[in-house]
Structure 1
Amino acid sequence: MATPTPVTPPPPHSRPVSVGPPTKHQLALMIWLAVFPTLTVLNLALGGWLSALAPVGRTFVLATIAVPIVIYGLMPPLHRLRARLLTRA
C-alpha cells in the first residue's frame, strides 16, 4: 500500500499579503482621483449637448454616466494600486 504524500504549505514569504480596507482619507482621495477626471472628460465631451438641459437634468445625466464608470471602471484599478503601494512599503 502506498503511503500518502504529506502536503506541506508554501513558505510564509510566498503567501499573498492581505491589505485591509482603505481609511476614510484614502477612500476620499481615491474617489476624488476617479470622479474629477471622469466629470471633466464628460463635461468636455457632452458640454454642448448638456448646455440645453436645466442644471438638475445636466447633473442627472452626468451622474448616470459617471457613477458606473467610476465604480466599475476606475475604482478597482485604484484599489489594486493602493494594495500594491502598501505591500511594497
Structure 2
Amino acid sequence: MEKCCSVEELEDFAHKLKVCGHPLRLQILLLIEREDACVSDLWKCLELPQPVISQHLAVLKDRNIVESETDGNRRIYKIIDPFVQKIIQGFEVDEMDN
C-alpha cells in the first residue's frame, strides 16, 4: 500500500486542523469564505467584542491560514491556505444540501 502523504505533511495537516478546530475560528473562516470580511464585519455578525475577533484572526494569520490586505480604511481577510480552504468550502456545500 502506497502512502498518500509524508509524516511531515500529515503533522502539518493535523496542526492546521487543530488551529481551525476552535468553534469561533471555524465561524470566522466560514464568514471570510462567503464574502470579503473585515474585523468590524466579523464582530458585528458574530456579536462579539472586536478584540476577541482580532485575537483569533491573529492566530490564523500567524499560522499562514489567512492574510489581510488593506482596502481604504478596511483590512480585508481571505483564506490563503489551500488545505483549509477546501475544508471550509466543504462546509459550504454541506450547508446547501441540508
Using structure 2 for the length normalisation, give the TM-score.
Answer: 0.27
Higher relative contact order (CA 8 A, sep 6+): 1
Quick check: which has more Rg, 1 or 2? 1
Decide which structure has greater strand share.
Answer: 2
- Give the TM-score, by structure 1 length: 0.29
